[in-house]
């Protein structure tokens, strides 16, 4: 029997007697023994399945990165096109998607009686709040559309409190055209709308077909966000940004600690123009590296779990 097998037998006998060897020479020799790979199909299978899933997630995020690059390129191009009257653009284009992120000149009269809010919104200065969504009848026409008039603090979300922001029924402005927002997979539902259901005042998304059920006149299948005066670079910076980054999830950013005290900032005009944000491409690229690293780490852990000291294998 070899020295390794002898050591193994001695250690096994001492364990059976309830004690380990205190011989420093024997223990030191055991620590210096090399590792051997002992294949385990269970460990290999689990780690391989996890790694393949992570690689698939990395590929998916890479596809999202490429798609977002094309999307943002189109967004920048459309933002530079000179704005035109909304009805001119609507009659010129055959689909609402071709109008996405076009700037339009809009004039009309608000219908405050059918105003709603989009909940779960956040502002960098005022903290949590809502966006005010108001139907507008377009001037010199029989058409109407929804207008996201902007952000108000959470305290003023009720219909009674919103009256203070309904100062002017007639308005003219430049708006950024958006298309109806469908419910995403596993996202929560909005309440049912239309007869015989009660009026839905708070929505999670601008789902125009669902909102239309409780509006007594036809709406265009697009809505607009009011664009503040200023250069296009500032507007683009507001549109393309992280609306809810991981630093907010773990309460690490300055903005994540901001909670509205319920007061209105006298230096601001409410509702504050606000955009539904687009996540930048760098976010998807970061996820590509994260999922790839996790897949590699999983395979390495699988190999380590299958390494055993040679003292565990008696040899003749």
**213 and 103 housed in the same domain:** yes
**24 and 137 housed in the same domain:** no
Confidence at residue 23, expressed as pLDDT on a 0 to 100 scale: 55
Confidence at residue 244, expressed as pLDDT on a 0 to 100 scale: 44
Residue 301 lies in a domain: no
Q: What are the tens digits of pLDDT across the range 247-273?
A: 443 333 444 445 556 678 888 999 998
Q: Are 38 and 244 in contact (CB under 8 A)?
A: no
**23 and 147 housed in the same domain:** no
Residue 72 lies in a domain: no
Structure tokens that stand for 310 in this block: 């040679």
Q: What are the tens digits of pLDDT across the range 156-180?
A: 999 999 999 998 899 999 999 999 9
Residue 117 lies in a domain: yes
Residue 234 lies in a domain: yes
Q: Which structural domain, as residue segments, surrounds residue 25?
A: 1-33
0.85 surpassed by pTM: no
Confidence at residue 246, expressed as pLDDT on a 0 to 100 scale: 39
Residue 285 lies in a domain: no
Confidence at residue 60, expressed as pLDDT on a 0 to 100 scale: 94
Q: What are the tens digits of pLDDT across the range 269-297?
A: 999 988 776 667 778 889 999 999 999 99
Give every residue of the chain whose pLDDT is below 70, as ranges. 1-33, 94, 229-262, 277-279, 309-316
- Domain total of the chain: 2
Q: Which of 252, 247, 270, 249 shows the shortest CA–CA distance to 260?
A: 270
**27 and 129 housed in the same domain:** no
Facing residues of 272 across strands? 151
**92 and 166 housed in the same domain:** yes
Residue 209 lies in a domain: yes
**90 and 24 housed in the same domain:** no
Confidence at residue 31, expressed as pLDDT on a 0 to 100 scale: 54
Q: Are 56 and 314 in contact (CB under 8 A)?
A: no
């Amino acid at each position: 029997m070899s020295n390794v097998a002898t050591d193994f037998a001695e250690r096994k006998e001492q364990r059976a007697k309830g004690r380990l060897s205190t011989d420093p020479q024997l223990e030191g020799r055991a620590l210096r023994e090399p590792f051997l790979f002992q294949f385990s199909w269970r460990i290999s299978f689990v780690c391989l399945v996890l790694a393949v899933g992570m690689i698939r997630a990395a590929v998916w995020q890479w596809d999202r990165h490429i798609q977002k690059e094309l999307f943002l390129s189109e967004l920048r191009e459309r933002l530079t096109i000179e704005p035109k009257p909304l009805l001119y653009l609507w009659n010129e284009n055959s689909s609402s998607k071709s109008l996405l992120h076009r700037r339009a000149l809009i004039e009309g009269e608000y219908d405050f009686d059918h105003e709603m809010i989009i909940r779960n919104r956040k502002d960098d200065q005022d903290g949590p709040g809502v966006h005010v969504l108001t139907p507008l009848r377009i001037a010199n026409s029989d058409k109407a559309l929804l207008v996201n008039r902007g952000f108000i603090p959470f305290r003023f979300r009720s219909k009674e409190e919103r009256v203070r922001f309904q100062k002017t029924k007639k308005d003219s402005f430049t708006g950024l055209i958006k298309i109806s927002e469908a419910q995403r997979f596993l996202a929560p539902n909005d309440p049912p709308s239309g007869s015989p259901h009660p009026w839905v005042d708070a929505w999670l998304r601008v789902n125009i077909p669902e909102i239309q059920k409780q509006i007594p006149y036809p709406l265009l299948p697009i809505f607009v966000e009011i664009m503040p005066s200023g250069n296009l670079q500032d507007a683009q910076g507001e549109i393309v940004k992280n609306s809810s980054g991981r630093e907010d999830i773990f309460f690490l950013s300055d903005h994540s600690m901001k909670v509205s005290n319920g007061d209105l900032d006298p230096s601001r005009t409410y509702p504050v123009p606000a955009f539904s944000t687009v996540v930048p491409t760098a976010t998807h690229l970061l996820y590509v590296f994260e999922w790839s690293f996790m897949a590699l780490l999983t395979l390495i852990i699988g190999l380590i779990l299958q390494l055993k000291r040679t003292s565990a294998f008696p040899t003749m």
